[in-house]
Structure 1
């Protein structure tokens, strides 16, 4: 009777042949077949440099086949030290950006091909040896999966920590208006992009965040929302984007080779909103990092624009300064803004009249449309407009007064 221990009475055999010598003899040919399957079934491996596939990948495939032969010969688990080459290879794949699932799939494919190779000539009397073979293969596969995953994740954690540190330092320097040079990162240095699209984003809550009865669930939903937005930005840039985002939004610096068309940026923000599952209000401007003041100036202006958009009730979407010139100017502190706001001071304690005026102007002085919006009779609208004129001295039917009324409302909305 065979077993998973020393002192067994005979070598593992299938079809009358001992498995360990058979696997060693067939290792070169079998390894080549495994490599061909990897390249045909796992596209990630076709993206590696040819020398990497012909060198390290081919070597580790054959080394792993021979490891299984050693396990079958000793009929005991592989020693931890025997997995060192696989750990080193996993760390190298992590540096090359090969996904972990592709690496694990490659090992599973290799184990399946070893099993097929060794059981091809099985006979009815080989059942016990086949079962022991399966136990050895599955146990060694678990060992490899654990060792390879640990080495891969450790390397990725180190890489991500170094790269995130470099990006954080670069972003901090750009936002502070400091001259930026090369910053340390995974590939030696992180160089400033030729241009940056500076984005200020306001992220509305995702529906899952509004479940006040499940605070931990709301926090998870917020993190998922942020992560999905980052994925869209990274995909657009073709590299990790520098971001400082929380559940309500923040700042993103998107590296670009040249200022992109505005419609392209509008599409980018729309894609972010779709991925987030929540409306996004944003402002954008393109900045040249060669000018240390360009990025912080653009970020500050974008932030002001987004705050202005939210105060004035603009719909979600992407805006630039040209879209809100009048509102932006009126939002700047000064005597002119204060005096404009005072024009409507007589309506401070008459919210019905103020709402009627806002609606009347929004409806382009259409009394019927205003009445419909306010759910009142058109004659009521006419009466209220007369009262507004009596109190303020301004009539929306006089062109000069109309401009003043528009500006006064904006000054009130844009002010502190």
Structure 2
């Protein structure tokens, strides 16, 4: 139903006044956006003076039309705001900054309307406020929906591109086709990591809680890795671990990688064991294989959680390679297979640098008992830990046994 009398405040029609003040008000809104929202200040000046200013003025004039017609705007009439939100999403402007910009524009427009309001203006003032709230609600809904849909498509494309790039790097296939198809280029170097996650207490069981806990753990680890790389890391992770390719411009200090694993452990609230190697794009497949082998050695030898490289497990790694000598080394300690207390004492004795008292304390036995057991080991194997050459053989034999899965 048409209204004969326009909404007025201070003796002037609100719609006409707002429409006349729109150019001046637009300049003031844009200045405030640049002053209060750093992300807008980082946009090209041409875009700020063009697209951003245009959408501000268009929204102000559109609200003036709403006040003049005294009926809500149709969703189809908000197509320019919808397109603008999608463009900001492509540019990486955060949604909260966009919504804040609309709130700033609405507040400044309302202050312009409210200037000079008197007691007699209350009915029109209240109706104008109701129109503003409805207009702002529709704007928020349309802008948010358009932005999120655009981000979903962008993220899907980027995720698909990263997945294709990682697949090509892992398989060693030529990268030219992937670069042409996705526009993504490989980094100069990658920190190739194999990760193993301990289960979080909340993952116990098989219900929804366990699945949510696993996803949360993975998300927190990825967040730490992305923060270190400065961009999304290439990952294939599940609740137990997986493979990570961290893009880096050059070899980072080993200490910084250890700190990343420590931060990921803290963020995930569970223990993380990792093995890492550095490789160029062409060397990624070999580095993945080697880091997985280092991880296998770390697990077999019962090392503590943390980050490892090949240099940390050289002897164990080399002795875990298949060879005729491996079984021969393991066989040196076969006489102890039926005497597990002697094997346990030997491992403990070597771990404590041949200290009888320390070994006795660890095993809760008397040092003299330790001495007796070491003599028995010498008698049965012919190897004496006190002789340097025998000590090397004993260490190698223990590693060989672990590599072959001996108890």
Residue-by-residue CA offset, 1:347-374 (whole Å, 9 max, x unaligned): 2233222221111100001011111111
Whole-angstrom CA distance in 2 between matches of 1:267 and 1:115: 51
Quote the residue 1:202 is aligned against: 196
Report the TM-score when normalising by structure 1. 0.93
**Alpha carbons 1:340, 1:411 under 8 Å: kept:** yes
Divergent runs of 4+, >6 A: none
Residues 1-400 of structure 1: pairs in structure 2 closer than 5 A: 6-181=1-176, 183=178, 189-210=183-204, 212=205, 215-289=207-281, 291=282, 294-400=283-389
Shift of 1:85: 0.4
1:166 to partner: Cα distance? 1.3
Give 3-state SS (helix, strand or coil) of 1:183's partner.
helix
The whole-number CA distance in structure 1 between the counterparts of 2:295 and 2:190 is 18
Please give the TM-score of this superposition, normalised by the length of structure 2. 0.95
C-alpha contact 1:162 1:185 (8 A) present in aligned 2:
no
- Contact 2:168–2:178, Cα closer than 8 Å, also in 1: no
Counterpart Cα distance in 2 of 1:221 and 1:52: 43
1:168-202 superposed Cα distances (whole Å, 9 cap, x missing partner): 1111111111121253689x611121221111111
Question: Take 2:65 and 2:382, find their aligned partners in 1: how far apart are those partners?
Answer: 98
SS in 2 for 1:190: coil
Mapped to 2, the partners of 1:50 and 1:413 lie a distance apart of 66
Deviation at 1:243, TM superposition (A): 0.7
Q: Tell which deviates more after alignment, 159-168 or 358-367.
A: 159-168
Structure 1: give runs of 5+ residues left out of the alignment. 1-5
Residue-by-residue CA offset, 1:109-155 (whole Å, 9 max, x unaligned): 22122222211211112222222222111111111111111111111
> What secondary structure sits across from 2:176 in the alignment?
coil
CA shift at 1:403, angstroms? Answer: 1.1
User: Which residue in the other structure is 1:3 paired with?
Assistant: none
Question: Does the 8 Å contact 1:341/1:409 carry over to 2?
Answer: yes
How many positions carry a matched residue from both structures?
A: 405
Please state whether the residue corresponding to 2:392 is helix, strand or coil.
helix
Between 1:25-34 and 1:6-15, the stretch displaced more is 6-15
Contact 1:388–1:394 (CA<8 Å) still a contact in 2? yes
1:26 positional shift: 0.9
Q: Aligned in 2, Cα 1:185/1:238: closer, same or farther, shift over 3 Å?
A: farther
What is the CA distance between 1:207 and its match in structure 2?
A: 3.8
1:332 is paired with a residue of what secondary structure?
Answer: coil
Aligned equivalents of 1:39, 1:206: Cα separation in 2:
45
* Superposition CA RMSD, Å: 1.8
1:370 and 1:381 in contact (8 A); partners too: yes
8 Å contact from structure 1 (residues 166, 185) kept in 2: no
Q: 1:350 to 1:139 in 2, by over 3 A?
A: farther
**How far is 1:321 from its partner?**
0.9
SS in 2 for 1:239: coil
**Distance of aligned partners of 1:11 and 1:185 in 2 relative to their CA distance in 1, 3 Å threshold:** farther
Gaps of at least 5 residues in structure 2 are: none
Following superposition, the deviation at residue 285 of structure 1 comes to: 1.4
Say if 1:204 and 1:278, in contact at 8 Å, map to a contact too.
yes
TM-superposed deviation, 1:9: 4.7
Distance 1:330 1:49 in 2: 60
> In 1, Cα distance between the equivalents of 2:296 and 2:397?
19
